[in-house]
A and B are shown apart, each in its own frame.
Chain A
Amino acid sequence: MIYREAGQFKTSYGADQMIFPILQDRIFVILAVVAAYLVPLIANEYWLQAVLIPFLILSLAAIGLNLLTGYAGQLSLGTGGFMAVGGYMTYKITTAFPDLNVLIAVLLAGLIAALVGLVFGIPSLRIKGFYLAVATLAAQFFILWLFNKVGWFVNYSPSGTITAPPRTLLGIMVTGPEATAPVRYLIVLTFLAFFALAAKNLVRGRIGRSWMAIRDMDIAAEIIGIRPYQTKLLAFAISSFYCGVAGGLYVFCYLGSAETEAFDIALSFSVLFMIIIGGLGSILGSILGAAFITMVPIFLTNAPPLIGLSMPIDLQKHIEVMLFGSLIVFFLIVEPRGIARLWQIAKEKFRLWPFPY
């Protein structure tokens, strides 16, 4: 009954083009964002560090991949590689210029990741679909190998590990071992909020439409005057920028220190899972999918002890993997268009409730 749009008349195209044309949605979103900023007041260290921070960072990466795969239709399995570029480049930049604001270093690293993405996007001009997906694996493996083999990237540290140095922002420690979880949480949240909005703006305008046109029917898109090369390459660049920024935050605000294993193919797959489960071609879906994929393993790990079941650790690990796989299959069968679609259906229902028509 509360969720009604009756009586809200749009009198300009501007009003009709808003992201949330319905008043209740706007209120809900504003409340949700405010609530997200208040979370550190109630959440403990464990929740922030082990659940929420990785969730937010991976949401950002998922948005990046969704721009490329969900909107522009170019399947990529190289997300981990592009995130690694962000992580390692942030490290290089901030150790080379210690006085530079570390957040700017993250953004610059994102730009470098965008360039790398551009290079690995070139094959998309000739190849499509799964062929392209395999080509992006080249990015994944080559980039990690490079960071492993070339000492310059890790400042010749013998262990090959990069460690986030302590950096401050407005006098507050934001990275390094001294930085508290709430501070890091707020930084990551701000990044996500800003870039999620930017992504939404991109996809509802000219660029988003040309991406979707290429995705839905590339030949027709070309004939109505969309240049496929530029459009696809832009998608690769912007997507990799998002992944790069997420990678920088992953090292500096979440892991603290990392080796290339942190960015291996498993990471690429889990980000891909996020957007499939969440919903291809949906910004909100990317975030919901990231929530699902980060929360489920935590739930599966904690659930058996809760109901008084105890079993050997490795057995539990195997069962966890199995359940995770089953859940994914289950989800794909129930709603191949993802959680975002379920959310939309629920909203439609709620709009009419309690009257059936």
Chain B
Amino acid sequence: MEILYAFFVAPFVDMASDPIFFSEVVIGGVLTGIMYSLVALGFVLIFKASGVFNFSQGVMVLFAALTLVGLMEHGVPVWLALILTVMVMIALAFAVEWIMLRRLVNQEEIVLFMSTIGLSFVLQGFGETVWGSNVKLLDVGIPNESFEVGGILLNEFDLFAAASGALMVTVLAVFFHYTRMGRALRAVADDHQAALAVGIPLKTIWIMVWSVAGMVGLVAGIMWGAKSGVQFSLSLIALKALPVLILGGFTSVPGAIVGGLIIGVGEKIAEIYWGPLVGGAIENWFAYMLALVFLLFRPQGLFGEKIIERV
């Protein structure tokens, strides 16, 4: 009985008894969730436009942040470093298309997936060879003052992160649904050969989405890096973006956002209210379990299209 009480009643009593702390937990979760969403967004872009499950998105975040920090350490001013980093990410997109993707057209999904894992090794090794592997501090001048609203502690930096995340999503959603290029991207995702046959320039499209994904990665990298330093563990958040994708559906931009928020808030609450009961550190797996249970009820994700099978 006691154990049932501890699991099913006590946590809720705790939440109700200290609503201010609870709302701070939720807000903390929302902000982590936005970070996850930003990484997941990069995945969704590339998956939508090329059907490639890009495992290296996490390392791209790290790589972008490393490049930015590295340049700044060499005395390059922030604005120039940003421009240069964006150019590096575009160059990377070109390189990926030239060296990898164009040689793997119409290969099986798993082969493309594996090649991006290979790519993540290359990027990680390359980034650390050039810029070194020690933890770096990133300061691009985002305001970082705390203030109180109705007794709840808020932080300017976090709000800034949330705002830029929201902006990005809006822009991308509009781009996919209302522009000619967006339609071409969706056609490519459906079938490479068919898209080529109707005259969609596959290569241009790929370079474009990888560039955009690189920039999304840069934004995510700046946010994470400014918060917790630029280090290898940045690339591990990529793995956390996977359950986010599952919740949201692989091809849905809004899904990436909602999924990120659910995972972010869910795991924070679980860790703080239930974690101590089972020894803590459940943040490691909670997101995956949540996604797994969710999949059992809705295999196509929150926003994925329902799959109708036919023969």
Contact = CB atoms under 8 A, between A and B. Distances in A.
A126 B245 CA distance: 17
B288 A137 contact: yes
A137 B245 CA distance: 13
B111 A276 contact: yes
A127 B109 CA distance: 16
Given A220-B311, A319-B129, A130 B296 contact: no
B272 to A, nearest CB: 17
B111 A123 contact: no
B124 A141 contact: no
Nearest to A138: B288
A134 B242 contact: yes
A223 interface: yes
Contact of B285 (A134, A142, A327): A142
Interface string A313-326: 01100111111111
Contacts of A329: 99-100, 115, 118-119, 122
B121 A321 contact: yes
B246 A134 contact: yes
**Interface of B (DSSP majority class):** helix
Interface residues of B, number: 49
B122 A138 contact: no
| Interface-centre pick from A69, A223, A314 (highest chain B CB count, 10 A) | A314
Contacts of B123: 325
A318 B66 CA distance: 14
A322 B122 contact: yes
A75 B109 CA distance: 11
B114 A322 contact: no
A13 B250 CA distance: 48
Interface stretch (B145-153, B174-182, B223-231, B276-284): B276-284
A126 B295 contact: yes
B295 A123 contact: yes
A134 B288 contact: yes
A212 interface: no
A112 to B, nearest CB: 20
B157 interface: no
Interface string B139-181: 0000000000000000000000000000000000000000000
Contact of A265 (B107, B239, B301): B239
B243 interface: yes
A135 interface: yes
B220 interface: no
A174 to B, nearest CB: 34
Contacts of A134: 242-243, 245-246, 288, 291
Interface of A is mostly: helix
Contacts of A145: 281-282, 284-285
B285 A276 contact: no
Contacts of A149: 278-281
Contacts of A315: 129
A219 interface: yes
A135 B133 contact: no
Contacts of B109: 129-130
A272 B114 contact: yes
A269 B117 CA distance: 9
A175 B117 CA distance: 36
B103 interface: yes
A326 B120 CA distance: 10
A327 B119 CA distance: 10
Contact of A75 (B110, B124, B280): B110
Given A138-B292, A141-B285, A336 B125 contact: no
A126 B122 CA distance: 35
Interface in A251-265: 265
A310 to B, nearest CB: 16
A336 B109 CA distance: 11
B108 interface: yes
A131 B117 CA distance: 17
Contacts of B281: 145, 148-149
A320 B122 CA distance: 9
For B111, B121, B296, the residue with the greatest tally of chain A CB atoms inside 10 Å of its CB is B121
B299 A127 contact: yes
Contacts of A1: none
Interface string A83-127: 000000000000000000000000000000000000000110011
Contacts of B295: 123, 126-127, 131, 135
Contacts of A135: 246, 288, 291-292, 295
B2 interface: no
B115 A328 contact: yes
A280 interface: yes
Contacts of B243: 134, 137
A123 B278 CA distance: 24
A333 B288 contact: no
A327 B279 CA distance: 41
A142 B104 contact: no
A137 B118 contact: no
For the complex of A and B, 6 pairs with smallest distance between CB atoms: A325-B121, A322-B125, A328-B118, A138-B288, A321-B125, A325-B122
Interface of B: 53, 99-100, 103-104, 107-111, 113-115, 117-126, 128-129, 133, 239, 242-243, 245-246, 250, 278-282, 284-285, 288-289, 291-292, 295-296, 299, 301, 309, 311
8 contacts: A126-B296, A134-B242, A137-B239, A142-B289, A276-B111, A276-B114, A318-B129, A320-B125
Given A134-B291, A322-B122, 15 more contacts: A75-B110, A130-B113, A131-B246, A131-B250, A135-B288, A137-B239, A138-B292, A141-B284, A145-B281, A318-B126, A319-B129, A321-B122, A321-B125, A325-B121, A328-B121
